[in-house]
Structure 1
Amino acid sequence: MHMSDQREIAAPVAEVWAALLSADTLLACVPGAKEVTGNAEEGFEATVVQKVGPVKATFKGKVELSNLVEGQSLTLTGEGKGGAAGFAKGGADVTLAESETGTLLTYEVEAKVGGKLAQLGSRLIDGFAKKMADQFFTNFQSALEGPAEAEEDSADAAEEAGEKKGLFKRLTGG
């Protein structure tokens, strides 16, 4: 299964890059993540609980980063085993580019599943994989930008009061 998309993130490229390499940010952004440990150099280990159709499983896996071109692109490759439910593996090529409002993040994702999960049918699996990718990048965007404000006035007031927005900024104190 293959999918691609892009996101406009209102944050500088350097901040987006640092967030992609942060275990804390990944923990906050991966849907169902219960634990993410490790670092960009050695890879990350993760525990993720997900329900796909009638199958609920705890996946334990590893994510490795490769093809790192600082501030420009990287490849995330991961595999998770969910016991009797089966396995999921895949990767994402992520590129960053400066834009008028911050950073344009583009991604291409390739994913495969096996075991009981594969028996659920490709439409269900493809829909779930797309939802997971969309949810991750939505969470990632919110972590950097802060939650979308219903009223611009409250966002402006928060900025004027000097409040920090975005999970990544809170985690890094930046």
Structure 2
Amino acid sequence: MKLTDEVIIPVPRIKVWEALNDAELLRQCIPGCEEIVKKSDTEMEAKVTVKLGPVKASFKGAVTLSDLDPPNGYRISGEGKSMMGGAIGGANVRLEDVPEGTKLIYDVDAQVTGKIASLAQRFIEPTAKQLSAQFFESFARLAVNEPG
């Protein structure tokens, strides 16, 4: 599954970059995220619960930042496992200056595997789009209100 979208955040690019690297802010933005533990500047562990139609699954996994190009973007990759299957994917995130502040462009690629994929296949893409929209709406709101 692939998703591409963009959002305008009315703050300077450096502030958006800092927010993208703030584990606590990310935890607040990720729908269903129970915790994020920052292991290093490029590695985190996360626990997220997601509802895919009739199926609810808790994923625990690793998140890695790569291809860092501050303050222009990075690749964020993750792999999570649950009792019903797994999820693997990532997103290329790019930041561009625009008159209104910063344009955040993202290209997501993700796969769900195992029992959860077969039980909730028709719900995966619509749910992913909804969760992505919720994340970036929250992210834009919190990035604007971050001190700095």
Unaligned stretches of 5+ in structure 2? none
Q: CA deviation at 1:121?
A: 5.0
* Corresponding letter in the other structure for 1:67: D
* Corresponding letter in the other structure for 2:6: Q
* Corresponding letter in the other structure for 1:116: K
Relative to its length, the structure with more strand (as a share) is 2
- Local SS of the residue matching 1:7: strand
TM-score by length of 2: 0.94
Q: CA deviation at 1:8?
A: 0.4
Q: CA deviation at 1:39?
A: 5.2
Given that 1:68 and 1:75 are in contact with CA atoms closer than 8 Å, whether structure 2 keeps it comes out as: yes
Given that 1:33 and 1:47 are in contact with CA atoms closer than 8 Å, whether structure 2 keeps it comes out as: yes
Given that 1:111 and 1:129 are in contact with CA atoms closer than 8 Å, whether structure 2 keeps it comes out as: no
- Local SS of the residue matching 2:11: coil
Q: Runs ≥4 in structure 1, deviation > 2 angstroms? A: 39-42, 120-123
Q: CA deviation at 1:41?
A: 2.4
The residue number in structure 2 matching 1:91 is 90
Unaligned stretches of 5+ in structure 1? 146-165
Choose 115-124 or 7-16, whichever is displaced more: 115-124
Relative to its length, the structure with more helix (as a share) is 1
Task: Give 1:152-163 correspondences, 5 Å limit.
Answer: none
TM-score by length of 1: 0.81
* Corresponding letter in the other structure for 2:119: L
* Corresponding letter in the other structure for 2:31: P
* Corresponding letter in the other structure for 1:3: L
Is 2:118 the counterpart of 1:110?
no
RCO higher in structure (CA 8 A, sep ≥6): 2
Q: How many residues were matched structurally?
A: 148
The residue number in structure 2 matching 1:27 is 27
| Distance in 2, Cα, partners of 1:20 & 1:136 | 12
| Amino-acid identity (%) | 41
